[in-house]
Amino acid sequence: QVQLVESGGGLVQAGGSLRLSCAWSGRTFGIYGMGWFRQAPGKEREFVAAISWNGGNTYYADSVKGRFTISRDNAKNTVYLQMNSLKPEDTGVYYCATRGNGGYWEPTSYSYWGQGTQVTVSS
């Protein structure tokens, strides 16, 4: 059984920073690519960032490129999302997930999901 637990969300003013963490337990963490998605009220879940199993490749949505950084520490079974220069439109519930087959930007490509952590950016 795989479990993902996100943490680090909260309320921050526009321009501020947050660092999200996603801790993994269960099967070997290092063999999976990982991704972060977010969902705002009334909107579909959208891709934010993804990272390959060894951290060698990273991918970002255009809306966060240059502001967010995804990273992972396989020794700690943890993936991170550093979010800088936050904007009100970054508000939403952020989820981490393990990637299976398919495009890194597609939610259907991901197998296991965490419960999410709320990020609220005030203007």
**pLDDT at residue 17 tops 90:** yes
Mean pLDDT of 41-66: 96
> Which pLDDT score, from 0 to 100, does residue 96 have?
97
Average pLDDT, the chain: 94
Q: According to the model, what pLDDT value does residue 2 have?
A: 86
How far apart CA 49 and CA 62 sit, in angstroms, is 10
pLDDT of residue 27: 74
> Which pLDDT band, with edges at 50, 70 and 90, does 29 fall under?
low
Instruction: Check: CB of residue 114 under 8 Å from CB of residue 6.
Output: yes
Closest by CA position to 92, among listed 34, 23, 45, 35 = 45
- pLDDT at residue 30 greater than cutoff 70: no
